[in-house]
Amino acid sequence: MRAVAILKEGTSPEVTDLPTPEPGPDEIRVQVRAAGVNPADGKAASGAFGPVVVPYIPGFDGAGIVEKLGEAVTAFKIGDRVFGRLGRIGRGTYAEYVTTKETAVVAEMPAGLEFAQAAAVPVAGLTAYGILEELGLRAPATILIVGATGGVGSFLTQFASRAGLLVVATARPQLREKVQALGATHVVDHTDSTPLPQQISAAGIAELDALVDLVGDQDLLLALGRLLRAEGGLVSTVGAVDQAAPYAASARAWNYSKQPTKHQLEELAALFQTDEIVVPLERVLDLAEGPRVLEESLTGHLHGKTVLEITV
């Protein structure tokens, strides 16, 4: 099969041919039609989550067609269109085929989504969904999303807006209309010389019920944390919350680390069936672009979602 892989320790990934994996008794083999790109892909391939065992195939998110079943599999059948966290560390979705446990975070694709759209959902969509669950906000609470133009931020803006929350989002001026279209009530410019707390106050917002950090600027968190109401929620997906910081004395502050579940993915799939959720699909590239995109994912400066399309 064709795949993006690291073939020797310490070398760069390349497009190559590898043996097609065989499913175990409790696994399914999926013909991957699209692989979602996430910052975690590059981190994992760099050894951030453990040793890089070669041949190493990156990628966690994917969408495709169930092509072969292990003898004990009962939850899926050949021909099912599925999406989710199909990949594992080193045995990922940047390939024509991947095997995954039938109990993994995998579900049937929502009707109406193309493979590229579905592949862009799992990690980003589930993270946004999980954050909102943990915050437990009720309308008309106010939430500030720092980094609203990325994959997680784009989904979170929509989910929060549809929950009746007042959404304040950070974005560059050229992306203002795009973020507003996703449901942001106010958009503040983090590149402007006016500090963000002043921009938020100028919009008539005296305090925040929740602050979600998707960027990791600790100085900015210190400044924005002063706007949080007592017992408000501050959560970071990039480990930026400091329990010794002043905001942690009165607010609920934590670094998001929850692992998604199959049930959550099924709920998310149902949401796509009943609501007009926009998949923030920015680029669809050929698998041959995988090595370059993997390096790019390490920068963390991606807008929307990038997907690798795998033609058959």
Q: Are 149 and 175 spatial neighbours (Cβ–Cβ below 8 Å)?
A: yes
In a domain, 267, yes or no: no
Q: Are 124 and 131 spatial neighbours (Cβ–Cβ below 8 Å)?
A: no
What type of residue sits at position 266? E
For residues 70 and 137, state if they share a domain.
Answer: no
Q: DSSP of 102-123, one letter per residue?
A: TTSSEEEPPTT--HHHHHTSHH
Omega before 140 cis (within 30°)? yes
For residues 140 and 92, state if they share a domain.
Answer: no
Taking only the tens place, the pLDDT of each residue in 63-105 is 999 999 999 999 999 999 999 999 999 999 999 999 999 999 9
Domain count, the chain: 2
In a domain, 268, yes or no: no
For residues 305 and 294, state if they share a domain.
Answer: yes
In a domain, 141, yes or no: yes
For residues 18 and 95, state if they share a domain.
Answer: yes
278 has pLDDT over 70 = yes
Taking only the tens place, the pLDDT of each residue in 143-153 is 999 999 999 99
And the tokens for 190? 């983090």
Please tell me the distance from the alpha carbon of residue 18 to that of residue 168, in angstroms, as a whole number.
47
In a domain, 265, yes or no: no
Residue 108: exposed, middle, or buried by beta-carbon count in 10 A (0-12, 13-18, 19+)? middle
193 has pLDDT over 70 = yes
Contacts (Cβ under 8 Å, ≥6 apart) of 306: 36, 37, 282, 283, 284, 285, 293, 296, 297
How far are the Cα atoms of 20, 138, 148, 290, 309 from residue 56, in angstroms, in the given order?
A: 14, 44, 32, 13, 19
In a domain, 302, yes or no: yes
Residue 113 belongs to domain with CATH number: 3.90.180.10
Contacts (Cβ under 8 Å, ≥6 apart) of 254: 234, 235, 236, 241
In a domain, 271, yes or no: no
Q: What is the mean pLDDT of the chain?
A: 95
Give the range of the structural domain holding residue 109, as residue numbers without chain letter: 2-121+279-309
And the tokens for 59? 């990628």
Tokens 């602050």 locate to 211
In a domain, 274, yes or no: no
For residues 164 and 139, state if they share a domain.
Answer: yes
For residues 114 and 193, state if they share a domain.
Answer: no
And the tokens for 139? 């309308």
CB half-sphere exposure, 247, CA atoms < 13 A: 27
In a domain, 270, yes or no: no
For residues 283 and 250, state if they share a domain.
Answer: no
Q: Are 221 and 213 spatial neighbours (Cβ–Cβ below 8 Å)?
A: yes
Please tell me the distance from the alpha carbon of residue 35 to that of residue 58, in angstroms, as a whole number.
10
For residues 94 and 154, state if they share a domain.
Answer: no
Contacts (Cβ under 8 Å, ≥6 apart) of 259: none
Task: Give the pLDDT of residue 303.
Answer: 73
Q: Are 109 and 83 spatial neighbours (Cβ–Cβ below 8 Å)?
A: yes
For residues 88 and 139, state if they share a domain.
Answer: no
Residue 202 belongs to domain with CATH number: 3.40.50.720
Taking only the tens place, the pLDDT of each residue in 19-41 is 999 999 999 999 999 999 999 99
Exposure string of 191-230, with b = 16+ CB inside 10 Å and e = fewer, is eeeeebbebbeeeebeebbbbbbbbbbeebbeebbebbee
Task: Give the pLDDT of residue 300.
Answer: 61
For residues 223 and 246, state if they share a domain.
Answer: yes
Taking only the tens place, the pLDDT of each residue in 194-251 is 999 999 999 999 999 999 999 999 999 999 999 999 999 999 999 999 999 999 998 9
For residues 29 and 133, state if they share a domain.
Answer: no
Task: Give the pLDDT of residue 135.
Answer: 98
Task: Give the pLDDT of residue 301.
Answer: 59
E-only strand ranges, 105-246: 106-108, 142-146, 166-170, 186-188, 208-213, 228-236
Please tell me the distance from the alpha carbon of residue 269 to that of residue 111, in angstroms, as a whole number.
9
Task: Give the pLDDT of residue 96.
Answer: 98
For residues 149 and 72, state if they share a domain.
Answer: no
